[in-house]
Structure 1
Amino acid sequence: MRSSTCVYCFARKTHSYLDLDTGLGFDSQIVVKVNAPELLRRQLGSRRWAGDHIAMGTNVDCYQRAEGRYRLMPGILAALRDHANPFSILTKGTLILRDLDLLTQAAEVTDVGISVSVGFTDPELWRTVEPGTPAPERRLDVVRTLGEHGIGCGVLMAPVIPFLSDQPAQLRATVRAIAAAGATSVTPLVLHLRPGAREWFMAWLNREHPYLVRRYERLYADGAYAPKWYQRRITRQVHELAQEYGIGPAGAGMPRRIREQEPEVEPMSEPTQLTLI
């Protein structure tokens, strides 16, 4: 089954843990843990489980194409709802709207945070660098729909791609669209190129934008991340635009509980990614 992939996806390296290819194999093969809902419910019911926040979508999108066939998330969300366990979801997928009722029910009893990834709004760049994913405007429709149903949704503006989506006019257009969708927050994240993703992305860059290869080699000469000065510049520009367009500070909508009046609660521990084995 072909998955929804991005040429820059940092999760490519994880494919090698299973002796699978991080290039074409990552784009065409997907491993599905079909008993994930049952394993999660068992874990949540264990006396050893302390009710920690569970972050989903931090490595591989839980609402990619395979979810349409396997329908694992309804069972996962129902388990989290039944145990009133706080959670958050990061996704590029519009399929999350299928589970709107479950998200709403969960948000009645626990902290639920939703964030959608929209790094840019340029349709031509999207077609080449994020093939198989929903278009940026469709992802922003998710933000808008969740907000209309009382679930605040932030936007992870990621990745900002150096020399391809980082010009002032491009950043402005993206932040303006995010604000128009009703996002509660916007958090920029500059492209990072870890092993596995770096080789695949640079091969793509050499094919599509060969004039940028040397600039990338210089910008990422010290490793997987762009220099701090570059990251700070992008962050400052996006935050200034967010303020101009009236978007709240980063994290304003995540996590959020749907209540007319929220009770006082103890501060949550740091988010934990649950390994289902």
Structure 2
Amino acid sequence: MRWDHLRLDAESGPEPGAAQPLIERGAVTRTIDTPEFRGMTFFEIRARTVVNKVPAASRVPFRWTINPYRGCSHACVYCFARKTHEYLDMDAGADFDSRIVVKVNAAERVRAELAAPRWRGEHIAMGTNVDCYQRAEGRYRLMPGVLAALRDAANPFSILTKGSLILRDLPLLQEAAARTEVGAAVSVGSVDTDLWKQVEPGTPPPRRRLEVCAALNDAGVGCGVLMGPVMPYLSDSPAQLEAAVRQIADAGATSVSAITLHLRPGAREWFLAWLREHRPDLVVPYARLYRGGAYAPRDYQEAISRRVRDLAAAYGIGGRARHRPAPAPPPARPHQLSLL
């Protein structure tokens, strides 16, 4: 899939039969010399469409998405969306982290597309490819216009984020929730701060994300937690899972679900390069675990999901607690393997 909706013509249009540019020739390219944006480049484009249909082969429970940005300054070493930057003739590594495409007309396109006669008011998911509340949103402020359009159309939507900037838009979320179904979730795969600094260097700390979850729920906007990804040998020990679920429960999350790390092309190469540098002891175990492709073995994925589900029930997430689990043993030491 070549993301044709991002191929924008030059003003005079291309020659018949010629390939259209991946980024429009009239795009504005900006570099901003402030500490939070140093080393980053922004490509400001006017997208043809912003409400995008998800390919049928995707393993996701939704059909439509809005992604105001391409690339992400969160710089998560495992991000599955890295491959999409190659469709823009950029690399899936450093370019994905630092060369961000900004759809500056996102709000006006959303409003127009939701008003089209063919639109049927289906649920729209946001933050499912790259984070719509990444650092760039503080400058470009695209989400207030997008949320206002969804609110005015009473169109159901959900947001997944690792950013704290979502709280800026809390009044809009409350207004939308009064008119339609609104869901929110924060992504917290682990509460290990040492691991966070290494694998998610551009994100707020896990504790701050859980504070966001609590604030959204206190304001009447239901917020759950996606424990994603759980990383084999790095964040999957019984003690690590129990610590994460306990803090998620303390934040008042409405739900918690786990997703195990998957390593699709693009993300796989970048993550394994990180592994060779920071955890060379895990290179061979990862090669064995993921020898079948992008996904860990099904029984391992199911074991993680079952353990998190049981912990969630024990801590009363989404209902009353059956019991509080006994303290788990301490996490495995860094040189030890912890594949459950």
Whether these two folds match at TM > 0.5 is yes
Q: Map Cα deviations across residues 185-224 of structure 1 (whole Å, 9 max, x no partner).
A: 0000000000000000000001000000000000000000
Uncovered stretches (5+) of structure 1, i.e. residues with no partner: 250-277
**Aligned with 2:160: secondary structure?**
strand
Tell me which amino acid in the other structure corresponds to 2:201. P
Correspondence for 2:290: 220
4+ runs of 1 displaced by more than 4 Å? Answer: none
Tell me which amino acid in the other structure corresponds to 1:213. V
Are residues 1:62 and 2:125 paired?
Answer: no
Q: Distance in 1 between matches of 2:268 and 2:187?
A: 20
Correspondence for 2:172: 102
Tell me which amino acid in the other structure corresponds to 1:71. R
Q: CA deviation at 1:48?
A: 1.1
Correspondence for 1:124: 194
Q: 2:205 aligns with which of 128, 135, 146?
A: 135
Correspondence for 2:65: none
Q: CA deviation at 1:155?
A: 0.4
Q: 1:231 aligns with which of 298, 301, 307?
A: 301
Q: Which has the larger radius of gyration?
A: 2
**Aligned with 2:258: secondary structure?**
strand
Q: CA deviation at 1:27?
A: 1.4
Q: Distance in 1 between matches of 2:88 and 2:221?
A: 36
**Aligned with 1:30: secondary structure?**
strand
TM-score with structure 2 length normalisation?
0.72
Correspondence for 2:89: 19
Tell me which amino acid in the other structure corresponds to 1:7. V
Correspondence for 2:315: 245
Q: Distance in 2 between matches of 1:114 and 1:153?
A: 5
Greater share of strand: 2
Compare 240-249 and 111-120 and name the one that shifted more: 240-249
Compare 88-97 and 240-249 and name the one that shifted more: 240-249
**Aligned with 2:100: secondary structure?**
coil
Correspondence for 1:7: 77
Are residues 1:187 and 2:257 paired?
Answer: yes
Greater share of helix: 1
Q: Distance in 2 between matches of 1:27 and 1:90?
A: 19
Q: Distance in 1 between matches of 2:107 and 2:253?
A: 29
Aligned length: 249
**Aligned with 1:32: secondary structure?**
strand
Q: Map Cα deviations across residues 246-274 of structure 1 (whole Å, 9 max, x no partner).
A: 0128xxxxxxxxxxxxxxxxxxxxxxxxx
Are residues 1:152 and 2:152 paired?
Answer: no
- RMSD of aligned alpha carbons: 0.8
Uncovered stretches (5+) of structure 2, i.e. residues with no partner: 1-36, 41-72, 320-340
Q: Distance in 2 between matches of 1:90 and 1:194?
A: 20
**Aligned with 1:155: secondary structure?**
strand
Q: CA deviation at 1:126?
A: 0.1
Q: CA deviation at 1:152?
A: 1.3
Correspondence for 1:167: 237
**Aligned with 1:89: secondary structure?**
strand
Q: Map Cα deviations across residues 142-181 of structure 1 (whole Å, 9 max, x no partner).
A: 0000111111101000000000100000000000000000
Q: CA deviation at 1:76?
A: 0.2
Q: Distance in 1 between matches of 2:225 and 2:94?
A: 29
Tell me which amino acid in the other structure corresponds to 1:225. Y
**Aligned with 1:80: secondary structure?**
helix
Q: CA deviation at 1:109?
A: 0.2
Correspondence for 2:147: 77
**Aligned with 2:213: secondary structure?**
helix
Q: CA deviation at 1:28?
A: 1.0
Q: CA deviation at 1:182?
A: 0.2
**Aligned with 2:136: secondary structure?**
helix
Q: CA deviation at 1:74?
A: 0.1
Q: Distance in 2 between matches of 1:214 and 1:49?
A: 49
Q: 1:202 aligns with which of 246, 260, 272?
A: 272
Which is bigger in relative contact order (C-alpha 8 A, separation at least 6)? 1
